[in-house]
Homo-oligomer: A and B are copies of this chain.
């Protein structure tokens, strides 16, 4: 298991551990895009830790053979990842960091017999990492004292959220940015279909869109449309007000940029498709270095393979669109078809309710110290917690924010709402820590020194 840390500001005796619950990708990517933790660490005397999720990045339980078969891959679950995080936090509490030990000796000069629990831990996470941060507190309240769960769609599961909610939100982002843009996208699906009916048409599109592999048949066309659809979703997710590089290197307000060429949905077939291609250019070729459009992956910085497996076991998130309430093609959700796909691809049977059983679904009022933050520009807000559950399990709505903008470093272009949100997090984290120091450690008075 790989983890990154920064202990410059850590007060070893009882300073908090700010712990990023890594999600589906190399930990470096999250480390670079979660500036908020770095900015507040000094004030809190905190240790910063970014923990890599098992089966991603370099954290391979069985080395290069980790994905070989389900006997090995079966240990890729959210519960196992959380158990790893429990081990790591416990280890750091007892032993300190290697860097610190090297400087001051022992366990970083702290008597660990009494003080194993002296360092409060605060979990941070965005997206699936945010789900993990929330679930971490829900399942291990003795290990983690509070969680900032940003853009965490913990309700994007069967029976909790309507399957069309996700594409509804995505569509509204485009429609609000530019109605013409939204309508162009909506129209583009059938336009692509008709343009690629013949071999000649497929060649023409392959050429005009500079595809790395030309479209050969209907399957390729389907893949192209799926890739485009994912790009729209991803762009909405990282629709930050300034230039950033999370899923891909992008300009500020990328949805607006993408929409610029998509001005008229009444254009003829190839003119309309040219405008779409010009828009997509923003996503796949903002740096101007791509020589052709590669539709094999839409999120190069995340590991699609591991997540595909997780989505086919625990993380079954029903999604559907209909082209009426949204700007996407008509695609109903069909669990049986999905199960067949999972059987074929990973030889596993997806579970519709294991997440609800394990983590409580909508019944989380007995938990505490969690902030669920959601940006209303973020497609994933559809499955997020958008209202306060209790006084300490609270929702923060950031109207102008996309996917976990709040966890990123401060930027002059940040909307006021995200600045306020971050202040609120700091306030709450202080409360959690002082409450922990005041009440929880009292238990230790009664412990024996056996």
A interface residue numbers (CB < 8 A to B): 86-87, 90, 116-117, 139-143, 158-163, 165, 318, 353, 356-369, 387, 439-440, 443-444, 446-448, 450
Contact = CB atoms under 8 A, between A and B. Distances in A.
26 contacts: A86-B357, A86-B358, A87-B357, A90-B357, A117-B363, A140-B357, A140-B358, A141-B360, A142-B356, A142-B361, A142-B363, A142-B366, A143-B357, A159-B447, A161-B448, A161-B450, A162-B450, A318-B450, A362-B443, A362-B446, A363-B440, A365-B439, A365-B440, A366-B368, A366-B369, A387-B446
A450 B168 CA distance: 14
Contacts of A363: 117, 141-142, 440, 443
Nearest to A442: B365
Given A140-B360, A162-B448, 18 more contacts: A87-B357, A117-B363, A139-B139, A140-B358, A141-B363, A142-B364, A143-B357, A143-B360, A159-B450, A161-B448, A165-B448, A363-B440, A365-B439, A365-B440, A365-B443, A366-B368, A366-B369, A387-B446
Contact of A160 (B86, B356, B448): B448
Nearest to A386: B446
A398 to B, nearest CB: 20
Contact of A444 (B141, B165, B362, B443): B362
A168 to B, nearest CB: 12
Contacts of A366: 141-142, 367-369
A185 B444 CA distance: 36
Given A87-B357, A90-B353, A367-B141, A362 B447 contact: yes
A367 B369 CA distance: 12
Contacts of A440: 363, 365
A90 B165 CA distance: 27
A160 B447 contact: yes
Contacts of A142: 356, 359-361, 363-364, 366
A448 B162 CA distance: 6
A361 B448 CA distance: 13
A364 B447 CA distance: 14
A131 to B, nearest CB: 15
Contacts of A116: 159
A39 B243 CA distance: 68
Nearest to A114: B159
A261 to B, nearest CB: 36
Contacts of A361: 142
Contacts of A443: 362-363, 365
Given A139-B139, A141-B367, A357-B86, A163 B450 contact: yes
Contacts of A143: 357, 360
B353 A450 contact: no
8 cross-chain pairs, A with B, having the tightest CB-CB distances, nearest first: A142-B360, A142-B363, A141-B366, A162-B448, A362-B443, A162-B450, A86-B357, A163-B450
A93 to B, nearest CB: 11
